Structure 1
Amino acid sequence: MGAVALIRSGFERFFVDGPVGMPTGGGEQQVIAVQQVGELALPTGRLVAADPFVVWPEDAESFADEVEPGTYPVSVSLVSYIDGDGLPDERQGYRVAAAKVTVKDEPAYSWRPAVVPGEHVPMLPVMPEFGYEVKSSTGAFFDLAAASALDRLAGDDALGNCALIDALGAVGGGRGPANVTDARTGLNVVAFSTGWGDGVYPTWVGRNTAGDPVAFVTDFFVINRI
């Protein structure tokens, strides 16, 4: 299933517990488990999706679609594998397949690329590559106002400890997800591993019939497109 088909069917399918797609060539079946990661504070309503260990505070860019300031739930789609004998594939564990910020508890009428101001992604039969670049196998959601807080959380303190790395390391063998709050500002960051690792990953915005954003979903290309 390509990007255009996903636009029509909706990214909601990424956030439903149970089997997804057809078995792989090796007979393995992907299975989704949805995990809630708590609330994300968006005091300015300007959401950023980025690699938390790469982005500099001054380079952080929020999406053009703003939401009402507040707190919003974040969830991730975790994909594990069942082998041909119906047993869990313990070697692979799970992968974070997608991450979502829910703005309104209602279905999306349409899905379009989430872009930053001045960016344009044409809706073609074959979608061009768009999204944010990941170089640390980690992605995150945060408010634009939390960019400086993220810089502290993703850096080493006086003792050489990194709050974000420690939080991710405590969950899923380092894959997260983790919800970490900066003590100085009270602002938080939700971080998670990005599917199979580094790459460029797109975020989509779902809208209701009035055109208002109801969700932002970042896809890490784990779920079979079939």
Structure 2
Amino acid sequence: MPLEVVDGMGAVALIRSGFERFFVDGPVGRPTGGGEQQVVTVQQAGELALPTGRLVAADPFVLWPEDAEAFTDEVEPGSYPVSVSLVSYLDGDGVPDLRQGYRVAAAKVTVRDEPAYSWRPAVLPGEHVPMLPVMPEFGYEVKSSTGAFFDLSAAPALDRLASDDEAGDCALIDALNAVGGGRGPATVTDPRTGLNVVAFSTGWGDGVYPTWVGRNTAGDPVAFVTDFFVINKF
């Protein structure tokens, strides 16, 4: 795991080698207790429309539209690529462990195609950046084993996509089921507004998962990454 330090403002900073390594194809992290090696495969999930530049990360199946909150770090309105880090396993002989399949280890919204100099918690309005050495739990709660990225203005659209229609079908569930045995990632567009959501399974399931914002040397956001605690960090 990259070095964690406290900068002049007391914020947590994860120096360069942080989450970039999660998004490079190949072996990653230390072997598991059973001697298995984790291997990353990066999958592109499509473009996410952010017409307001206000990004939300949440469980799409439990969030009420009126409760949606965007991170305090805003970006220029536009569309941004989303990718996920898929982790599979090789046994001690280098043979894929097909029983485990893959897990979505992390999800990333790329704002600028450049490396991050530092990583800090992405926080909501009214939240404070966690401090070292005591770092409280932060992140969004997952109760449906699913996470998502979307624009704040898309919250009502997401509510429609994550709900059953008159025929009993759910567009978001159907899209997820069509990819990776239900693990996604899946990009779904609301036909009424043209806004979309990118959804994916969350590592090993339910929990509280943090999102980090990576910044360049000028302090501008270059990426948002949600970590699902799958990768055995260095």
User: Do structure 1's residue 118 and structure 2's residue 126 form an aligned pair?
Assistant: yes
Query: Aligned Cα RMSD in Å?
Result: 1.3
Report Cα offsets for 1:19-76 as digits up to 9, x if no partner.
0112112110000000001100000000000000010000000000000000000000
Aligned position for 2:14: 7
Bigger shift: 122-131 or 40-49?
122-131
Distance 2:22 2:148 in 1: 18
Residues 141-186 of structure 1: CA deviation (Å, up to 9, x unaligned) = 0000000000000000010000000000001110000000000000
Q: Is the 8 A contact 2:104 2:203 kept in 1?
A: yes
**TM-score, length-normalised on structure 1?**
0.97
What residue number does 1:163 align with?
171
Unaligned runs of 5+ in 1: none
Q: In 2, distance between residues paired with 1:135 and 1:92?
A: 21
Note the C-alpha offset of 1:121.
2.6
In the alignment, the residues of structure 2 paired with residue 106 and residue 27 of structure 1 have an alpha-carbon distance, to the nearest angstrom, of 34
- Residue 3 of structure 1 deviates from its aligned partner by 8.0
1:221 aligns to 2:229 (yes or no): yes
Q: Which position in structure 2 is the counterpart of 1:64?
A: 72
Which runs of no fewer than 5 residues in structure 2 stay unpaired?
A: 6-12
- Runs of 4+ aligned structure 1 residues displaced above 6 Å come to none
- Take 1:39 and 1:179, find their aligned partners in 2: how far apart are those partners? 8
Residue identity over aligned pairs, in percent, reads 86
Over 3 Å counting, the alpha-carbon distance change for 1:4 and 1:126 in structure 2 is farther
Deviation of 1:126 after TM superposition, in Å, equals 4.5
2:57 to 49, 57, 78: 49
Q: Which residue of 2 aligns with 1:100?
A: 108
Q: Which residue of 2 aligns with 1:151?
A: 159
- The 2-side partners of 1:177 and 1:10 are apart by 22
Aligned residues: 226
Match of 2:219 among 204, 211, 224: 211
The answer for the alignment partner of 2:37 in structure 1 is 29
